[in-house]
Amino acid sequence: MRRFLLTLLVILTSLSLAGWRKQEPIRTIRVGVYENEPKIFTNEDGKVSGFWADLITAIAQKENWEIIWVHGSWTECLERLENGEIDVMPDMGMTEGRKSQFVFNSEAVITSWARVYVHEGVTIETILGLEGKRVAGLEGSLNFDGPEGIKDLVERFGVNCTFVGMKSYEDVFIALQKKEVDAGITNKDFGDFNENVYALTRTPIILQPTQIRFAFPKNTSSTPKLVETVDHHLKVFKQDSHSIYYQALDRYFGEKSTPSFVEIIPGWIYSFSIFTAVIILFLIAVSLTARKQVREQTLELRTSEARNRALLENIPDNIFRVNREGVFLDFHSSGEKTIFSSSELFLGKRVDEVIEPGLAKSMRDHLERAIDDRKMQVHEYQIMLDGKLRDHEARYTASGENEVIVIVRDITDRKKTERELKESEERYQTLANVAPVGIFRTDIQGNTTYVNPTWCRISELSHDEALGNGWLRVVHPDDRQVLAENWKKSAQRHAVSIADYRFLRDDGSVVWVMGQAVPEFNSDNQVVGYIGTITDITERKKVEELQAAVYKAESADRLKSAFLATMSHELRTPLNSIIGFTGILLQKLVGPLSEEQEKQLNMVQDSARHLLALINDVLDISKIEAGQVTLYTDKFDLADAIRISMEKVFPLAEKKGLLLSSVMVPERIEMVSDRRRIEQVLINLLNNAVKFTEKGKVHLQCQIIDKNVMISVSDTGIGIKAENIPTLFQPFKQVDSGISRQYEGTGLGLSICKKLVELLEGEIWVESEPGKGSTFIFTLPLQE
């Protein structure tokens, strides 16, 4: 137990000793000193005095501190404070920047501000008054270089002045007194103290009200204790009106110091500061606005200046002053090549001496007229300059009784353009006159203003007749409406109007024309009229009409063709069944037939076959009539065709007991024709011959005559009466309708034969004697 207590005691003691050690008493303080009477300074005796010195000395005494004064310049002191080479620095303006650098004590000590001074007799009321002035200040001080110092403020106001940095406030005042500078800024305290010495006047310009306190280095260990101690004492001082604080104030600043004066920034300072701040803000605003206005006005002025300059520089004129006699008195050129390269050549000389006689005389005349008539004379002439021919325009204006101002302008380019335009115009005219299309122009209402010769030729109107509305007269009445609408629509859309229409000439003839018209625009893009062409398209129209007709015909043909094909098929189909089934039955393929059944079925079949024959013939002739027959031309042996046809007819001839014979001369005949059709004709004629002959023979004769072959089919039949012969080859014209039933046939055979033969470019006719027989003859070219 005892041991424990002892150990505890030792521990406690050491701890307290340790703690004590931490709180080692301050023995000495190093205080920064710079020369700033009366705030802090070294007097004649070498003793550091001043408000701050007394203050810190008093505190040190009470604390038993030894003061070590460290002298230096303001900047040096600041450095030392920063580095911790001194422990305390008096008279430090407490700014935001410094608060982060150093430690300040908490008790207010004194307030200060900066003031601008001028030398006597000068009046500067505001910062603006510093414009263009030289201003001196303490280099590095807050009120000079610092934020919201004079330099800063001046810049904000947009005031231009020159700043001269001095090493001390004295130097500032000296410079000011010597009038080396126009104004100087110092701390108020310095100013108060010294203004009379240097005979300087304070201006109302004050800045930077600042708290002045003690400052301590940040990182020194003694700082916290020092701060605490200083604050403590200051507090005590300030409560005692007889303390060193007030004494020092009195002694050094000479103000009747009351707590209120020092303790707080006096009320009037506050309101004054606020008032000043407001004024400053207002002035800043005004100055900014003023600056802006000035900038704008300057810009305007500069722009207009530039414009004027440009104008002047672009007048390509030479201006002469000439007297009545023609002597050049004066001359101004814009720089363009003038009549003469240098004015010496003609100033003082007469026109005739300098310009070739012809032109000179003309100029003299113009001069005189200008003066006599009191009217401006315009004179265009050509003159040789630098080896080039130039066009000039001179205007002579009299100025007084004896003088004329002549303004000469080079118009070569203008003249050139004019000439080119004229040439172009002429070319256009020529073109319009010879163009093979009609050209016309109208005004905006559509009244014709111009037509070219071709137009007149097409319409057969004269130029004058065509003008105005005249041209409408020749437009075909049927087309007028359409044309008018077409024009209107195109005009609205400012598009090309294209239309085909007719001219109806006085002689009744019709001309088809294709007209095109476009609007004409002026330089403002407004329609001023129309220009167009007409082309004679009568030929084209004819072709078009023909083509339409052909197409129509072909369509009709196609229809016919389709009709015939359909009819053919439709008509034949049922016959297939009739002929087919009766055939099967008659062949007894289905079973035996009674006599009567056979008889009746035969009748059915006969009729069916007859019907088929009719259908075939009708279709055939229809086709021929409709021009639907296509001939298939080929090389073939006629003998062969004849033989085949004969073979077809032979069974019938045999049945009737007729002799069928043929003779061919020569025996082989080569033909180029439609073999099938020839066979058709042959079969038809032979069939007829056999049909109408009861006994005897049917003979076919074939021979070549010239470039044709002639075939005749003769029979010993009933013959044909003379009166029947003319209508023999017509459809359905059978001899004696009574007999016709007997002889079957469709009644179309001969007409088909005729058509076919004629299609093949041949001829067919008949020779007959009733009761004796008939001979049908037809010829065909050997080559189609």
Partner 1 sequence: MKQKILVIEDNEQNMYLVNFILEKYGYQVIQARSGDEGIQQAQQQNPDLVLLDIQLPVMDGYEVARELRKMKLMAEIPIVAVTSYAMPGDRENAMEAGCSGYIEKPINPETFITEVEHFLHFAKNGSNP
Q: Is 469 in the site for partner 1 (CB under 8 A)?
A: no
Q: What are phi and psi of 752, to 5 degrees?
A: -65, -45
Contacting partner 1 (CB under 8 A), which of 277, 278, 299, 565? 565
Nearest to 205 by CA among 118, 94, 93: 118
Which residue's CB is nearer to partner 1, number 589 or number 665? Answer: 589
Q: State the DSSP string of 418-485.
A: HHHHHHHHHHHHHHHHH-SSEEEEEETTS-EEEE-HHHHHHHT--HHHHTBTHHHHHB-HHHHHHHHH
**Near partner 1 by CB under 8 A: residue from 122, 345, 564, 593:** 564
Report the Cα 379 to chain-centroid distance in Å. 47
Stretch of 13-21, 229-237, 572-580, 593-601 contacting partner 1, by CB under 8 A: 572-580
Q: By CB under 8 A, which span of 208-216, 489-497, 546-554, 558-566 interacts with partner 1?
A: 558-566
The span of 2-10, 349-357, 566-574, 703-711 binding partner 1 (CB under 8 A) equals 566-574
Q: Which CB, 579 or 660, lies closer to partner 1?
A: 579
Confirm or reject binding of residue 108 to partner 1 (CB under 8 A).
no
Q: Which stretch binds partner 1 (CB under 8 A): 52-60, 77-85, 571-579, 644-652?
A: 571-579
591 binds partner 1 (CB under 8 A): no
- Cα–Cα distance measured from residue 147 to residue 210, given in angstroms and rounded to the nearest whole number: 12
How far is 782 from 708, CA to CA, in rounded Å?
A: 5
Q: Is 682 among the residues that bind partner 1 (CB under 8 A)?
A: no
Judged by CB under 8 A, the residue of 126, 561, 662, 703 near partner 1 is 561
Among 174, 360, 629, 759, binds partner 1 (CB under 8 A): 629
Using CB under 8 A as the binding rule, whether residue 581 contacts partner 1 is answered as yes
Q: How many residues bind partner 1 (CB under 8 A)?
A: 25
191 phi, psi to nearest 5 deg? -60, -50
Q: Which of 453, 470, 583, 696 binds partner 1 (CB under 8 A)?
A: 583
Contact 120, 239 (CB under 8 A): no
CB 370 within 8 A of CB 326: no
Q: What distance in Å separates the CA atoms of residue 466 and residue 474, rounded to the nearest whole number?
A: 9
Cβ closer to partner 1: 53 or 649?
Answer: 649
Q: Does 444 bind partner 1 (CB under 8 A)?
A: no
Stretch that binds partner 1, among 172-180, 297-305, 569-577, 694-702 (CB under 8 A): 569-577
H-assigned helices in 126-201:
150-157, 169-177, 188-194
* Residue 530: closest CA among 552, 515, 514, 548: 515
Tell me: does residue 650 bind partner 1 (CB under 8 A).
no
Indicate whether 579 belongs to the interface with partner 1 (CB under 8 A). yes
Answer yes or no whether residue 429 interacts with partner 1 by CB under 8 A. no
Does 314 engage in binding with partner 1 (CB under 8 A)? Answer: no
- E-strand ranges in 522-645 read 527-536, 633-637
- Helical residues (DSSP H) of 347-411, grouped into ranges: 351-354, 357-373
Query: CB under 8 A: which stretch of 515-523, 543-551, 561-569, 657-665 binds partner 1?
Result: 561-569
Identify the three-state secondary structure at position 499. Answer: strand
Residues linked to residue 163 through DSSP beta bridges, in sequence order: 135
Q: Which of residues 206-245 bind partner 1 (CB under 8 A)?
A: none
List the one residue out of 531, 470, 534, 469 whose CA is nearest residue 499: 534
Question: Could you say whether residue 604 binds partner 1 (CB under 8 A)?
Answer: no
- Three-state DSSP class for 35? coil
How far apart, in whole angstroms, are the C-alpha atoms of residue 110 and residue 100?
Answer: 20
Q: Give yes or no for residue 575 binding partner 1 (CB under 8 A).
A: yes
Q: Of the listed pieces 129-137, 284-292, 496-504, 623-631, which binds partner 1 according to CB under 8 A?
A: 623-631
Residues that bind partner 1 (CB under 8 A): 561, 564-565, 568-569, 572-573, 575-577, 579-584, 586-587, 589, 612, 619, 628-630, 632
